[in-house]
Structure 1
C-alpha cells in the first residue's frame, strides 16, 4: 500500500522549494523503500532547482543520504528490511560493456526505480539523481542501497553518497595518488576538501589547497592540506610550482568546474603529471588549449565521474575508516537542519558559509 510522506519539491526554475506531501508506492520488482535518516544538501540539488540539469519539473530533491531499508520488492536479495544503507546514484547493471570489461565504476546502464513517486494529485516527480531523499521515505532501485556498518552516524556517512565520494575518489581512484607525491586541489568546498582528505589517506606528502576564500583555506588545513594559496591574491600556478621545487604538482585536482581554473590546473602540474576534473561545468562552457602544450606536457587529463567509485567496494571501506577515526566525515557536517530549512541551506551554500548542511529526520 502506498504511503504519504513529507518531501522537498522544486516546481519551477529558480522558484523557492516547497515542503509538500508526496506519495511513495510499494516497491516493485528490484526496488526498495528506504526510511531516510539524513540527507546532505549538495550543490547538484541547487543545479536541479535552477534547471541546470534537466527541465523535467517537478523535482523531488535530495540524494546524499543514509537510512534504513523498510520494504523490498520481488527478487531483491542484496538488502533486506532493517539494513542500514547509504544511497548511491550509480547502481551498476553488470551487463554493459564497461561492466563486462571488469570496470563497473564506468557502468553505462545504471539502474533507478521504475515506478514514480508522485504528488497527491498524481503528478509524477523526477527524483534528483534517481534518489529523491529530501523526504521521510523514498523509493529507489535496490542496487542503489549499499549496506554499511550501522554503528556509523547517518548524517556523516550519508555524505559518501555524493560529494565526499566524488572528491575522495578523484584522488584515490581516478588520480591514483601515490605515497610521497605532491597534490594540488583547486576549489576547497566539500568536494575539494574530500579530495584533500583522499590525498592525505593515500600518503601524499605535499598537499596544496587553492581557493579565493580564506575561510575555506582554513577548513582545508583540517582535512590534510600542508599549504594554502589564496588565488585572489597570488598566481596559483606560480605558487604551486614554487611549493614543488619549481616543477609543478604530480597531481592537480580541479574541483570548481570552470575553464579558467582548469587551465590553472593544466599548467600547475609537473611534466607527465595528472590533471583530474571533478568540478561540474555547465553546458555553455568551453576551453581552448594549445595542442602543442597538451602533447608536450605529457601525462594524463582525466575526468572523474562520482570519484570513479564502486559503492559496494568503497562505501563500506570508507565507513570503516570513519569508525576507526582515520577519516573525519563529521568535519564535513557544518550544521544539522530540518526539512523546512533546505531553501535557507541553499542560500548558505551559495555564499560559501557551509561545507554541508545535513537534513536530519
Structure 2
C-alpha cells in the first residue's frame, strides 16, 4: 500500500479488449496502476462471460471503445489505497458493479440497493501506448489484475470455488435477487419464469430455495428447459408449442402465478408475464430491453388487475448483505451455484464463449486464471 507521497507502480498484465464495434476481442497488454485513495487492486481468480460483455463488444451499451471486458469476477485483494480500512491484502472478494455511496437520499433512507451515486475507481487502466480503457461495468476483470473502487469488493468465505463465487457479480445475482428481493417469493407461492438462461434459471433456483411450491420455467429451447428442471422447476413450457399464458393458468388452477419473472425483456414476454400472473400478483422485469422497445397495455387492465409491476436492477441486491449469505447457502449445499458453471476456459477463450452463448450451449463459461 503506497502513501500519498510515494510513487505508485504500474502492473503489466494481459487483458481481453474490445477495440471496435462488432470486432472480435483480442488479448492486449494492460497497464494497471497501484490503488489510490478509495481504490483496491485485485488479482483476478475467475470471471464469468456474461451477455453484458457481448453487448459492450457490439456497441449496445455505449461507444466508449476500447473496452476492457469482464465483470462477473472473484479474486484476492493485492493492495488497497491509503484511506481504505475495511479491506486488507489477502481478502478473498467478489466484485460488484454498484459500490454504494452511503450518502445519497436512497442510502440515507436505508435503501442502499437503490443508491443513486454508485462509483468506480478514479484512476484509469490503459493500453501500453497510453490509450485509456473503459472497464466493463467499472470492473474490467478479463485481466490478471484489475483496479476497482474499494466498495466494489465484497468479502466472502474463501472456501468457495472462485469460478462459482464470481457468478454473483452480475447475472446469477440478478436472477436470485429478482425472485427473493424484488418479487419477494416466499413459501407456498406459485412462480413462472419466462426465459431460462442464466438469469432465469437463477430465479428458479432461488424460488425453490424460498419454498415456492409451483415453479414454471418457460423458454423456446428444450435444453434450457432441462436446465430449469435440474435447478428446481416443477413444470416447464416450450413457448414454441404452447401459449405461455394459458399454460401458466392451467398449472395454477386457472388463476395465474403469484409472481411472474420476465428474464427476457421484450414487449411480447412482458405482456405474457402481465397476463400470466394472478389478480394482485407481481410481475418482475429483470431482462434488459433494448432502447427502441415500447410497450402498450390497456390501462383498464393495469388498473383492474391490481398487484405490482416491478423492475429489478441487479436483483435489487446489496452486495454486503447478499453475497456472503448466498455463498454460505451454497457451501451448506442449499443453493447449487456450481450448476451454472458450464465450462472453465482460458483468457483467450472469450470469443469462442460468446459464440457458445449465442447458440444457447452454456449457462456460463468462466475464465479462470492460474
TM-score band w.r.t. shorter chain: over 0.9
> In structure 2, what is the Cα distance between the partners aligned to 1:326 and 1:177?
16
Which of 308, 311, 319 is the matching residue for 1:311?
319
State the partner residue of 1:272.
280
Partner of 2:6: none
Q: Which runs of 5+ in 1 are unaligned?
A: none
- Superposed CA RMSD: 0.4
114, 137, 147: which one aligns with 1:106: 114
Structure 1 position 183 matched with structure 2 position 168: no
Number of residue pairs the alignment of both structures matches: 361
For 1:132 and 1:78, locate their aligned partners in 2 and report how far apart those are by CA, in whole Å.
Answer: 22
So what's the TM-score if we normalise by structure 1?
Answer: 1.00
State the SS of the aligned residue for 1:124: coil
Q: Under a length normalisation based on structure 2, what TM-score does the superposition of the two structures give?
A: 0.97
State the Cα deviation string for residues 127-180 of structure 1 (Å, max 9, x = none): 000000000000000000000000000000110111111000000000001210
- Aligned partners of 1:222, 1:20: CA distance in 2, in Å? 39
> What secondary structure sits across from 2:140 in the alignment?
coil
- 1:339 aligned to 341, 347, 358, which one? 347
Map 1:72-83 to 2 at 5 A. 72-83=80-91
Q: Quick check: 1:69 aligned with 2:82?
A: no
Corresponding residue for residue 350 of structure 1: 358
Aligned partner of 2:11 in structure 1 is 3
Task: Report the secondary structure of 1:274's partner residue.
Answer: strand
Distance 1:172 1:264 in 2: 21
1:53 aligns with 2:61: yes
Runs of 4+ in 1 over 3 A off after TM superposition: none
Q: Which residue of 2 aligns with 1:359?
A: 367
- Rounded to whole Å, the distance in 2 between the matches of 1:82 and 1:56 is 33
Q: Map 1:231-246 to 2 at 5 A.
A: 231-246=239-254
| Partner of residue 167, structure 2 | 159
CA distance in 1, matches of 2:60, 2:299: 30
Following superposition, the deviation at residue 111 of structure 1 comes to 1.5
Task: Please state if 1:146 is matched with 2:150.
Answer: no
Distance 1:106 1:198 in 2: 21
Selected match of 2:139 from 131, 137, 140: 131
Q: Which residue of 2 aligns with 1:300?
A: 308
Of 261, 285, 298, which residue of structure 1 is paired with 2:293? 285
- Paired with 2:57 and 2:296, the residues of 1 have a C-alpha distance of 30
Query: What secondary structure, in the 3-state scheme, does the structure 2 residue paired with 1:262 have?
Result: helix
User: Aligned partners of 1:176 and 1:342: how far apart in 2?
Assistant: 35
- The answer to whether the aligner puts 1:38 opposite 2:38 as a matched pair is no
